[in-house]
Amino acid sequence: MTDPQRYLGSGTLESSTRTLTGAPPPHLPARLAISLWDFSWYTRAEDGGPYADLDKACAKAAEFGYNAIRICAAPLLLFGGLGLDALAEDLEIEGLGTAPDGGIYGRGTRWYDAPGGYRVNLGQRLLELFDAAERHGLVLVLASWEYQQSPVFAASPRWFEAIDAVPLDDRYRVLADAWDRLIRAVSAAGHRNRIALVELHNEVDFSILPALDDGGSRQVQRLRRLHPDLLVTASYGKPPHLAMHTVPDGLGAAQFHVYSYGVLDALQRRIDIRSEGTAGFPSPELRSLLRPDAPSFVDYGRLAEWKYRATVVTDQMFYGYDWIDPEAWDTWLYNGYGPYREVMRREIESRITAIAAWARWKDIPALVGEGWIGYTPLRGTFEEGPVGRDLAWHGIRTALEHGVWGMIPCSNAAPHHPMWADEAWQRRINALIHTAPAH
């Protein structure tokens, strides 16, 4: 009898994908369990805030099983050569400002719920963070959110105006020069081995920057030549997982984000919450989800106008998230999740698989620095609840099965989010990351 296997071709032979896609520098951990501190480590440092005590925050992260934190290191403010040195030494954090009712704008959002009211020497604070990270065995993934939102939290528009004045074609070069100076300063302070990764910028596809292949990849390669012992890259918010060959050459790591909006996107489209300038906003659909005491869109007022230019979040989104009824929001998502369940699971799986395969082809480490569902209101619990945790487990297991080096339990698992209180879940998922074989 003829053996049918001999006619199926080499494509039927299984090959292991569990080994790392590319080897990280030997001084770094075998796997990274990442907590996303973004810019909040300096914008939420008010008295009693989640980052008022950096040592305490680092200690808690290590206790939960994290060994890496990903931050905006504000390279343009600190080392951009843009005349901002004095501002960086005495940066007034305001947040989004005060609304007519006396509360802060952004009160119902994630990341933007910053009360402000203090000043910070950011260069000094960066070194304090490195010191604390060293004491607690953490490494840092360094990125910049400056062309996306970091300057919006300042009381003065000077930071934003200075970086916005840089011609579009020069922005990647100025970023690379700033990173070179920042890396040298951190190295002189004895912390070079604390740098897990340097990202030229966070989510270049969702920032006020040219396409990465329009000068950005060239600057990544230049920075890699200047610091050949470090991993240097740029990150994508929505990697082209169906056409990964379009990602430009020269990245030192595949740090891409994996969000599967699914049912969340369906809700956002229904209530038109992410747009701006929509006639008749808020729609009846959105009004049905608002708290009874929500003011009108007009009565709620607006941020200082420059702040809208300094961030990717719209006026409609700030209003909607600040006044949404979280229980009504979550109920809609739970009621609508059924038809999207398999789609969202498969989307997470397919994107991770594509990212990892591309990284293996390029022989570079792969990381998922953000994920898994998307941007939800501060008090919404859909992502922190059973559905979100199930998708997170699916994402982590898929990442480990495909040799991803670093990953995040959830973008909301950080000191400035309510999910930080779920200690047991974070410990379990980080233990899974650390016990996975790396070879």
pLDDT, mean of each 10-residue run, the chain (439 residues): 57 72 96 98 98 98 98 98 98 98 97 98 98 98 98 98 98 98 98 98 97 97 98 97 96 98 97 94 97 97 97 95 98 98 98 98 98 97 98 98 98 98 98 90
- Identify the pLDDT of residue 372: 98
Q: Please name the amino acid found at residue 223.
A: L
Q: Provide the token pair at 328.
A: 């009504």
Q: Provide the token pair at 142.
A: 């360094």
In Å, how far are 53, 93, 126, 222, 334 from 56, measured between CA atoms?
A: 5, 21, 15, 37, 36
Largest CA distance in the chain: 84
- Identify the pLDDT of residue 11: 60
CA distance 237 to 328: 28
Phi, psi of 366 (to 5 degrees): -110, 140
Residues whose CB falls within 8 Å of the CB of residue 4, separated by 6 or more in sequence, listed in order: none
- Identify the pLDDT of residue 2: 53
All structural domains of the chain, each given as residue ranges with its CATH number in brackets, are: 18-435 (3.20.20.80)
CA distance 193 to 28: 8
- Identify the pLDDT of residue 17: 85
CA distance 369 to 161: 28
CA distance 258 to 112: 21
CA distance 122 to 114: 17
**Cα angle: 433, vertex 438, 439; to 5 degrees:** 160
Give the burial string for 364-388 (b: 16+ CB within 10 Å, else e). Answer: bbbbbbbbbbbbbbbbbbbbbeebb
In Å, how far are 91, 102, 162, 365 from 80, measured between CA atoms?
A: 15, 36, 10, 28
